[in-house]
Structure 1
Amino acid sequence: MDREYAQPLDVEALARGVHMSAGHLSRQFRLAYGESPYAYLMTRRIERAMTLLRRGDLSVTEVCFAVGCASLGTFSTRFTELVGMTPSEYRRGAETGLEGLPSLVVKSVTRPIRNREATAGGGK
């Protein structure tokens, strides 16, 4: 999922690849990562979208489709949940303040917070 984040999620195919049922894979995935395979994939997509929005050469709609989301509404809702602002607001804010920083620092500072991390961190 990390490499092929733009592809549709096929839990059945993933489960076949590790010789499990889809339900068992989903339960084991949730135990290991604290979220469903779909939520994990959406987090990866939003991370990539953040990078593309900082780059600034694609519209929000183009970024949405580039990361594998089929619905701009779903993309915007999930982006806002994870990042705390809309994709357009993020793009405007990214235009200032991160220039010249090493990419590793930018990635660390801008990483979205998943629901379980926000809860564990005292509701950041």
Structure 2
Amino acid sequence: MAHVHPARHLLRARDLIDARYRDQLDVHTLARAARLSPAQYLLIRRLERAALLLRTTDRTVAEICLTVGLRSVGSFTTSFGRTFGMSPTAYRAAHPPAARRARVPTCVLLAWARPRTARFEKTTS
């Protein structure tokens, strides 16, 4: 399963609902429009959450697997690899946690972004 952001697929389902809101629409019809079954959508959302946890925490792959609602680390690793093109461990190595990156305090950013010359006329009293 190639990774395509679910929102793109869900827009198709939303457009179908907007166009046919008077009709009786069932889950199967919406799933066909979205090109994702509810189970596929749920798996993608779980994998996206797992990717976030891999980037931002030091939890083990097994802990993350269980945290996002999956039960088999082997299946999780396989699905993650199909979706993101690499194993969860490789993904974590490629995306170091934010704590390892240099953080710039907001006050420094604001001072740096201030104009160097005054843009208003100074008044003399």
Instruction: Please state which band the TM-score falls in when normalised by the shorter chain.
Output: 0.5 to 0.7
Greater gyration radius: 2
Is the 1:29–1:37 contact (alpha carbons within 8 Å) kept by the matching residues of 2?
no
- Give the superposition deviation at 1:63: 0.4
Report matched runs for 1:1-124 at 5 Å.
24-25=26-27, 27-95=28-96, 99=101
Question: How many residue pairs are counted as aligned between the two chains?
Answer: 80
Q: Percent identity?
A: 37
- C-alpha deviations, 1:40-66, integer Å up to 9, x for none? 100000000000000132110000000
Give 3-state SS (helix, strand or coil) of 2:70's partner.
Answer: coil
Letter of the structure 1 residue corresponding to residue 92 of structure 2: R
- Change in Cα spacing, 1:100 to 1:41, as seen in structure 2 (3 Å) is farther
RMSD: 2.8
- C-alpha deviations, 1:71-114, integer Å up to 9, x for none? 1111111100000000000011111799469xxxxxxxxxxxxx
TM-score (norm 1): 0.56
TM-score (norm 2): 0.55
Consecutive unaligned residues in structure 2, runs of 5 or more: 1-23, 104-125
Letter of the structure 2 residue corresponding to residue 29 of structure 1: L
Is the 2:55–2:97 contact (alpha carbons within 8 Å) kept by the matching residues of 1?
no
